Amino acid sequence: MGCGASHPQTQRHLDFNAHIKQDVLSYMDIVVRMMEGSGADLHKDNAFTRRYNKLARKITDLSGVERKASYSKITVVSPSEEIIEPQDNQGPRTPRIRKSKSGVSDDETIGLLYRSGRAGSIGLATPVPCNGKSDGNLEDLIKISAELATAPVTSLEQVVVTIAKKTCWLMNCEKATLYIKTGQKLIAYVDRSTLSTNSLNPSVNKDMTTISKDISPLDPEGSCVHNMSAVYLDRSGSYRPADIAAVPTEETDTKVSMWMPIVHEGDVFACMQVINKRDTKNFEITNFTEEDESLLGSLNLFVVTIIKNALLYKDLNSAYTHSAELLDLVKTLSTTELDLDRLCNHIMYSAKRLMCADRCSLFVIDKSTSQLVANFDGHAKEVRIPLATGIAGYVATTGNVCNIEDAYADQRFNKETDKQTGYKTNTILCAPIAYNGDVLAVAQLVNKDSGHFTKDDEDTFAGFSTFAGISIQNTMLHSQMVREKKTISAVLSTVRQLNKLDIMQTDVICAQIMEQAKDLVKCERCALFMVDKGHNQLYSTVANQTGGEIRFPMSQGIAGHVARTGEIQNIVDAYADERFNIEVDKKTGFVTRNILCMPVIYSKEVIAVTQLVNKEGNDAFNSDDEKTLQVFSEFAAMSLRNAQLFEFMRAAEIETKALLEVSNQSATNTRKRSSTIYKKTDASRLVALKAMTLTDEEGNTLLTTAFEIHKYNIHHAAMHERLMRLSHEVFKQLGIVKTFNMNEEKLYTFLCTVQSKYRSVPYHNFTHAFDVMQTLAAWIASYDLKQYLNSLDILILLLSGLCHDLDHMGLNNSFLLKVETPLGVLSASSGSRSVLEVHHCNIAIDILQNDQCNVLEGCTDAETKDVWKGLIESILSTDMAKHTELCAAFKGLIGCYDQSNTDQKRLVLSMLLKAADISNITKPFEVSREWGQYVTAEFDRQGAQEQEAMLDVKPMFDRQNKNQLATGQLEFIQAVGLPLFTNLAKFFPTLAPVLTQLKQNRNAWQDIVDTHQLRDDK
């Protein structure tokens, strides 16, 4: 290319050869170091000065500008600027630069200014016109580099466009695209229509788009970056190197292309693509050559510094902007009231402004309902959605950031929202807002102002979310404290109201609990159901609006499930729950939306169930409601328990008086009643019993827990008969016969009569009665319980053990009441539900009142009365319906037992009999297992009769239930055995081995259950 003669001295061309190439590199090194040094004086650098002097001579020779002095400072000057030289009389001064008014554009001329360090004079390289085609020589390269040196770095887009334009001119090509490496991607700013950088006008944003490509060694761009070497596409459509997998499509106008890496400090910084090189003579498209690669590589040495500075400026400017935004956010958040709604609006506004997004939504996680509370930009109404819904749900549950370049290509995005609103969602940045690793909310930013959201945007928002997370956490904690304060105040007020109620009025207490619970949790309705374990039912006298009592099996409904399991049930949609009976709503016209069902627990036992219906405001019950009701239920449980204990004691008193009246009446007509109860024992049988001798094994184990009871069951008549002789021996060895001067023959007669009144049912037969009595004797003798008991106490326990199940039919109280047997009807009419226990007492009284069986004739009147009271109370205590109340009262005696207190003594005797009654679960496992089989057989018999009577059959009575024995024993031990024997061992520490054996049995049953489960799974 010829240079224009704009200087009086002759212009000469520079040939692009190997010698001049080194001069170009030296020249570019000068300019680069000047830029990196921000124009600082470099005359102290000798090597730099020598290189400059050498190059300056060449420039002087070429341009004809006189070189007047050694280097002091060199400045690249744009042709749109002019040099203002100091006047001669102003002394040595630095020349100044000012903008030219000539209107010359940056694309037309370039110049190089240098000045003398001695006299302050200056020289200006000859301006060279640039409006022709480039010859691709050193002179053109110098012009390009000087022009690029003056490009402003305040806009990265402007920088890359300028570089691309000048590269096109230098390389004589149609297009140039500059890719900047960002992580594992290549990013390019291009014109939307031409997809090239050189044709882009960055001042018109609507024409600009961003190309993002993954770095793949199979693509030309990726290969260029990965291998740090040039990649060619020639006119034949072949790539060099040949392993490029990309194939040019026919739709593109790319005929030839070259990709050149831009390297900085051994690392690829960017990649320049030039397209369709034109021959300067005939303007035909020609292949790029190695000389082109060398020329572009030389330019790239200079380009990398310009890009680096532009990126640095962008980062610094972005950091400054972001820091200002964050500071503004912190100031705003610090002055915001602790109101979550207002805080959400502030966060959405600040995030939208910081991230240059069109819209922002904030989803706050409500852990109590497992929902996202959506706050939309410009919408005041709160919207709730399930936690795992959509993109926000994914971020909320995983804590991962979602940066989506095409929303419609993501299957999690709901396109219907855009269809309804007419808004077009293009890009989405969805990120968590966390505190100490716990995700509190999710921000969803939509449609970045230019292009898509970048990794820098993700990092920026991460800093933003730190402050937002702290603010949300503080606001939530404040709201929680306010709620808890209100809850505590409300609960205390409720407790005060309950404490004012009369303990004797259970219905009033229940009604008050319902009313207070409804007010506390803010719901439409509340019901309270009491647990009747004896009949396996729930009942209420206050839940029914008609005023009558309602009862239903514990196997039914949501309340029944809570009563059985003790689990809280928070049901968002009542109609979707199969346990809910929708027919009730159909009959009443009431619509049940949601239900909160809570157990009322006292001493680890469910004594009642509270059921709340329809949270006010169309909301669902949340975890705060559960906590509030749970705290309230603990206080309500104490009030209910106190009322129940009072009713229990009052009922027991009435029952005892009635039995004593029966006893007194029996005393007046003993002979008449004895004909129905007593059948004279055969004299030969008495002789045979007296003549029996104990075996060594019987003598050694009779008063120990090692006694093998199953040898003597009802299926072995001869061995079973020996139980009368062994019973006599127990009374004798414990000193009862001697202490109370018992008649030996009457004792045998009593024992034979008692044995005759037991039925041949699988479990509740005389073998069980003897086992209970023998267990009590073993505990007294082997575990030193005599320190707590006197002889009269021991007599009561032995008699109670033998008589506690007299005439048991193998059916429980619930069955007898439900099928309305004569005993059931009689018991219900008298106001007692202890059908069997009252029956046992009646028979025991009749037997002991018979002269031939009167083993109490040696007792004083006072002792006889104590025996009657102790016997009756102990037998009545074996009713499992009273188990919870008695256990609670007994637990209160631990550590404060007064043996002189008659009531406390009778409670202790009752608990010992109750424990002995179920002591089969504490025997060695094989012994216990056989007892379990007998229990199961008896349950099966009752289940069959319940089916015949069309009654609900509990699982434990259903013979079709697999693993009934193991699961039944395990559940009974867990629910009844362990709590009872744990407290018994605390009261009587010497009974600790009994508790230990029970735990071993529990583990053995658990192993069996697990084995069956594993087999079923397979």
Q: What is the DSSP string of 630-657?
A: HHHHHHHHHHHHHHHHHHHHHHHHHHHH
pLDDT score at 941: 80
Report the DSSP beta bridge partners of residue 385: 372
Place of tokens 């390389």: 171
The sign of the torsion formed by the CA atoms of 992, 997, 1002, 1007 equals: positive
Among 321-335, 547-561, 784-798, 858-872, the minimum mean pLDDT is found in 321-335
Among 310-324, 616-630, 667-681, the minimum mean pLDDT is found in 667-681
Instruction: Please give the C-alpha separations between residue 987 and each of 800, 816, 898, in angstroms, as whole numbers.
Output: 21, 35, 12
Tokens of 1006: 């658990």
217's CB contacts (< 8 A; 6+ apart) are: 223, 226, 227, 243
Q: Do residues 40 and 310 lie in contact, with contact meaning Cβ atoms separated by under 8 Å?
A: no
pLDDT band of 921, cuts 50, 70, 90: very high
Instruction: Please give the C-alpha separations between residue 350 and each of 174, 360, 431, 464, in angstroms, as whole numbers.
Output: 44, 9, 15, 9
With 60 as the cut, is the pLDDT of residue 101 above it?
Answer: no
Q: Do residues 224 and 200 lie in contact, with contact meaning Cβ atoms separated by under 8 Å?
A: no
Distance CA 521, CA 741 (A): 66
Distance CA 31, CA 299 (A): 12
Please calculate the CA angle 517-519-524 and round it to the nearest 5 degrees: 90
Does this model's pTM top 0.85? My answer is no
Cα 291 from chain centre: 65
Burial class of residue 380 in the structure, from the number of CB atoms within 10 Å of its CB (0-12 exposed, 13-18 middle, 19+ buried): exposed
pLDDT band of 834, cuts 50, 70, 90: confident
CA neighbor of 291 nearest in space, from 13, 24, 16, 25: 16
With 50 as the cut, is the pLDDT of residue 660 above it?
Answer: yes
What percent of the chain has pLDDT above 70? 73
Mean pLDDT of 500-519: 69
Among 152-161, 220-229, 766-775, 910-919, the minimum mean pLDDT is found in 152-161
50's CB contacts (< 8 A; 6+ apart) are: none
Place of tokens 């008896």: 938
Question: 412-451 pLDDT, tens per residue?
Answer: 888 877 777 778 888 999 999 998 888 999 999 999 887 7
Q: Do residues 343 and 475 lie in contact, with contact meaning Cβ atoms separated by under 8 Å?
A: yes
CA neighbor of 971 nearest in space, from 694, 638, 566, 579: 566
- State which amino acid sits at residue 515: E
DSSP category for residue 260: E
Q: Which run of H or E residues covers position 427? A: none
Distance CA 482, CA 442 (A): 24
Mean pLDDT of 936-958: 70
With 70 as the cut, is the pLDDT of residue 91 above it?
Answer: no
With 50 as the cut, is the pLDDT of residue 127 above it?
Answer: no
Instruction: Please give the C-alpha separations between residue 431 and each of 357, 403, 418, in angstroms, as whole numbers.
Output: 14, 8, 21
Place of tokens 């999690």: 412
- State which amino acid sits at residue 573: D
pLDDT score at 918: 93
With 60 as the cut, is the pLDDT of residue 662 above it?
Answer: no
Report the DSSP beta bridge partners of residue 373: 364, 384
Number of H helices, E strands in the chain: 32, 26
Number of neighbours of residue 707 by Cβ within 10 angstroms: 22
Long-range CB contacts (within 8 A, 24+) of 680-687: 680/852, 681/748, 681/749, 681/752, 681/753, 681/852, 685/752, 686/745, 686/748, 686/749, 686/752
Mean pLDDT of 261-282: 85
Mean pLDDT of 951-971: 67
Question: 279-303 pLDDT, tens per residue?
Answer: 877 778 888 888 888 888 888 877 8
With 80 as the cut, is the pLDDT of residue 866 above it?
Answer: yes
Q: Do residues 846 and 673 lie in contact, with contact meaning Cβ atoms separated by under 8 Å?
A: yes
Distance CA 295, CA 489 (A): 83
pLDDT band of 333, cuts 50, 70, 90: low
What percent of the chain has pLDDT above 90? 20
Number of neighbours of residue 398 by Cβ within 10 angstroms: 12
- 3-state SS, residue 75: strand
The pairing of strands 605-615 and 185-191 is unpaired
Distance CA 5, CA 8 (A): 7
DSSP category for residue 116: E
Burial class of residue 625 in the structure, from the number of CB atoms within 10 Å of its CB (0-12 exposed, 13-18 middle, 19+ buried): buried
813's CB contacts (< 8 A; 6+ apart) are: 534, 535, 824, 833, 834, 835, 836, 837, 879, 881
Q: Do residues 50 and 72 lie in contact, with contact meaning Cβ atoms separated by under 8 Å?
A: no
pLDDT score at 748: 93
- State which amino acid sits at residue 80: S
DSSP category for residue 460: H
Number of neighbours of residue 648 by Cβ within 10 angstroms: 17
Tokens of 646: 């009072």
Please calculate the CA angle 900-906-909 and round it to the nearest 5 degrees: 110
With 60 as the cut, is the pLDDT of residue 546 above it?
Answer: no
pLDDT score at 93: 42
Tokens of 393: 């749900």
Among 374-378, 494-498, 612-616, the minimum mean pLDDT is found in 494-498
Helix, strand, coil tally for the chain in percent (to 5) = 55, 15, 30
Higher pLDDT, residue 54 or 264 = 264
Tokens of 366: 């409500």
Q: Do residues 120 and 95 lie in contact, with contact meaning Cβ atoms separated by under 8 Å?
A: yes
Q: Do residues 403 and 458 lie in contact, with contact meaning Cβ atoms separated by under 8 Å?
A: yes
Among 384-398, 548-562, 741-755, the minimum mean pLDDT is found in 548-562
Is the bond leading into 241 cis (omega within 30 degrees of zero)?
Answer: yes
With 60 as the cut, is the pLDDT of residue 25 above it?
Answer: no
Torsion of the alpha carbons at 1005, 886, 703 and 848, rounded to the nearest 10: -130
pLDDT score at 6: 31
The sign of the torsion formed by the CA atoms of 377, 383, 387, 389 equals: negative
Which range, 39-48, 173-182, 338-347, is most confident?
173-182
Number of neighbours of residue 862 by Cβ within 10 angstroms: 9
**Average pLDDT value over all residues in the chain:** 76
Q: Where are the beta strands (DSSP E) in 471-541?
A: 523-532, 537-540
Cα 238 from chain centre: 57
63's CB contacts (< 8 A; 6+ apart) are: 7, 9, 11, 125, 126
3-state SS record for 268-290: EEEEEEEEEEECCCCCCEECCCH
